[in-house]
Amino acid sequence: MLGAILGDIIGSPYEFSEQVEGPDAFPLFSKDSRFTDDTVLTLAVANGILEAGRSRARTADAVKSEMQRLGKLYPDAGYGARFIQWLESPHPRPYQSWGNGSAMRVSSVGWMFDSMSDVMDFAEITSSITHNSQEGIKGAQAVAGSIFLAREGASKRQIRSFLEHDLGYDFSEENISYLRIKAQRKPGWGVSCMATVPLALDAFSRSQNFEGAVREAIAGGVDTDTVADIAGAVAEAYYGIPFRIRQKGLKYLDASLLQIYNNYLNCIDA
């Protein structure tokens, strides 16, 4: 999960900008780096699952409650307009979103369960609180499933096979190029699961280490904090995270968010 948080922080200054000319053309952390809604909601999902005791019956309500609690504590984190309406509703309901929010917040699911069937089920549960469309659920399952496979020692080829054959993604050069161009031309579509998830996982597939995955994700442009969040989430499971990057990135979290992360880490390590 830390890989998602770090990707979000590192990618935050470059969202839909033209500042980045290549994967080595920007500092990993800068004065403009910050955590965004990606980090807040990633931690909310993890904390909600823990509060529910990893119970299928209780997880949806617990995650919904925690997303509303943390979302209101961090109102300026950068939420989308429809999510803000959901956040402010006394009785929030899913709204058929196919945006990338379901995929950017799901990374803890890939670590907290020990079978692919559980990972896929809980990815759907955490997605469907808001993103109950087919594409929203598929995006969450793609990210959580890739993390699970990576931590289990799967190769990049095996992860790609899961994404292509089980979920129907197309990682051909032609399609990735098409997705990137369309996302750049239509920013509203650029924040969709259909664009973000394959672009992020393609960046991971072309990387050689954690830092490289995040840099490749950001160099592709568009919704850089979320693309780097997803690429970083899978890269953490596949490569691990260098100590220097881990320590630097954690300094961007305040005490409340850091406490949630440490509670999660203790549960994972137990």
DSSP states of 146-184 as a string?
HHHHHHTT--HHHHHHIIIIIT-----HHHHHHHHHHHH
Closest CA to 1 of 249, 256, 254, 270: 249
**Length of the chain as a residue count:** 270
The predicted model scores a pTM of 0.97
Locate 77 and state its tokens.
């984190």
Locate 94 and state its tokens.
């899913």
CB 140 within 8 A of CB 131: yes
Helix (H), strand (E) counts: the chain? 16, 0
pLDDT at 270: 60
| Residue 192 β-bridge partners | 99
pLDDT at 184: 87
- How many CB atoms within 10 Å of residue 30? 12
The tokens 């469907």 sit on which residue? Answer: 128
Give backbone dihedrals phi and psi of 99, rounded to 5 degrees, phi first: -70, 170
> What span, in angstroms and rounded, lies between the C-alpha atoms of 189 and 196?
9
pLDDT at 124: 98
> What span, in angstroms and rounded, lies between the C-alpha atoms of 70 and 40?
7
pLDDT at 221: 84
> What span, in angstroms and rounded, lies between the C-alpha atoms of 215 and 106?
21
CB 102 within 8 A of CB 126: yes
Tens digit of pLDDT per residue, the chain (270 long)? 999 999 999 999 998 877 677 898 899 999 999 999 999 999 999 999 999 999 999 999 999 999 999 999 999 999 999 999 999 999 999 999 999 999 999 999 999 999 999 999 999 999 999 999 999 999 999 999 999 999 999 999 999 999 999 999 999 999 999 999 999 889 899 999 999 999 999 999 999 999 999 999 999 888 999 999 999 999 999 999 999 999 999 999 999 999 999 999 998 876
| Residue 62 β-bridge partners | none
Given its phi and psi angles, is residue 130 left (phi above 0), alpha (psi -120 to 50 degrees) or beta?
Answer: alpha
DSSP secondary structure letter of residue 131: -
CB 21 within 8 A of CB 220: no
> Hey, what amino acid is at 23?
P
